[in-house]
Amino acid sequence: MITSMSAQTSKQTSGNIDLRSGSLDRPSDKEMVRAMLQSDASYDGVFFTCVKTTGIFCIPSCPARKPLKRNVEFQPTVRGCLLAGYRPCLRCKPLAIGYDKPAWLDQLVALVESAPSEKITDADLRALDISPHAARRYFQRKFDISFQAYHRMRRMGLALRHIRSGGSDSEAAYDHGYESLSGFRDAFQKSFGVTPANCGNLTSIETQTIDTPVGPMVACATDEGVCLLEFADRRALQRQIATLKKRLSGVIVPGANARLKHLRSELQDYFAGKRKTFSVPLVVPGTPFQEFVWQQQLTIPFGETRSYEQIAKAIGRPKAQRAVGRASGDNRIAILIPCHRVVRSDGSLSGYGGGLWRKHFLLNLERSG
């Protein structure tokens, strides 16, 4: 097990119908220039403005100073922008298109965190000018649970932590908003599959979503270290989470801990070009072969790459190149365990769970650092 180290689909539109010009491909250059100059948000996600003088790409509604027409080119997708050598604007965050969160979300999460054991009613939400219907719909769409289920899971996570630290189930019940011990025990068993008395072997895995320049990432951590960092739109995400829960005998609950705070800070520095290595501890259980591969990937220096063949030779399995590729695909901690630094023998890019455009972006970020 590695314990330390030194080192919903974003649907970008490539074929939108421009109702103003009738084009089935993309808006005319004249229309895109107009949209850019007028910060027309109706075109956000339809095309992107790439500024040649700064090397940055933006959404049409970006509030930054508008470039001269001769200094821009337009791309229909994020992938096209990145492959053309542009980096995302830190002001308008073009990679967040499709992941926009409502203005009230941070306020609502803060409300839960300020008093997680207290019930939040529809009347409470209306008092904050938050539509209960909008909150339910947003949480159901983004997280596949209702807001009330999210709140309940948060309470259950805190209760689990309380019991595992030596507290009684009766204390956990009353301290976390339950009026009866039997009601708490039923809710606990529905959430975790075991009774409070039998939860001693469960590992509490807390999870958050972290916004990054390459889109939102799902992060999970125990008290010992980070155990998952995956792109939110990765198809294998649910499988990775299921594997993690099985390997750690754990339950995943919304929340925060010191490891997630540490991770968030270091990721911010990494994407800002201020960090080349990571110090947040990792918890990455796998098969012996997987762990050998992941440990070897941790030794690849920032700004460099290694081939699958080189990794296979380094772990004493020179003919196991394909197995190395599979182990890389099973890596649950993107970026920190830098499987994006593993390429083909000829230097070309191959499979990456987060998409080749992200692999291209990360390698360019590191090479320019």
339-356, pLDDT tens digit by residue?
999 999 988 888 788 888
Confidence of residue 96 (pLDDT cuts 50, 70, 90): low
Residues 319 and 329: their CA atoms lie apart, in Å, by: 18
Residue partners of 97: CB distance under 8 A and separation at least 6 = 10, 12, 44, 45, 59, 78
What is the average pLDDT score of the chain? 83
Q: Is residue 16's pLDDT more than 80?
A: no
Q: At which residue do the structure tokens 């690849």 appear?
A: 300
Q: Is residue 226's pLDDT more than 90?
A: yes
Residues 268 and 140: their CA atoms lie apart, in Å, by: 28
Domains of the chain: 29-96 (3.40.10.10), 105-199 (1.10.10.60), 207-367 (1.10.10.10)
Reported as a single tens digit per residue, the pLDDT across 242-252 is 999 999 988 88
Q: The whole model's pTM is what?
A: 0.65
Tokens (6 digits) for 118: 């207290």
Pairwise pLDDT comparison (224 vs 144), residue with the higher score: 224
**Per-residue confidence (pLDDT) for residue 98, from 0 to 100:** 54
Reported as a single tens digit per residue, the pLDDT across 279-316 is 999 999 999 999 999 999 999 999 999 999 999 999 99
Q: Is residue 5's pLDDT more than 60?
A: no
- The DSSP bridge pattern shows strands 217-221 and 203-210 to be antiparallel
pLDDT > 90 in the chain, percent: 39
Coil, strand or helix: which one is 240? helix
Reported as a single tens digit per residue, the pLDDT across 204-222 is 899 988 988 888 899 999 9
**Per-residue confidence (pLDDT) for residue 357, from 0 to 100:** 80
| CA angle at 54 for the pair 52 and 57, rounded to the nearest 5° | 75
**Per-residue confidence (pLDDT) for residue 263, from 0 to 100:** 98
Catalytic residues: 339
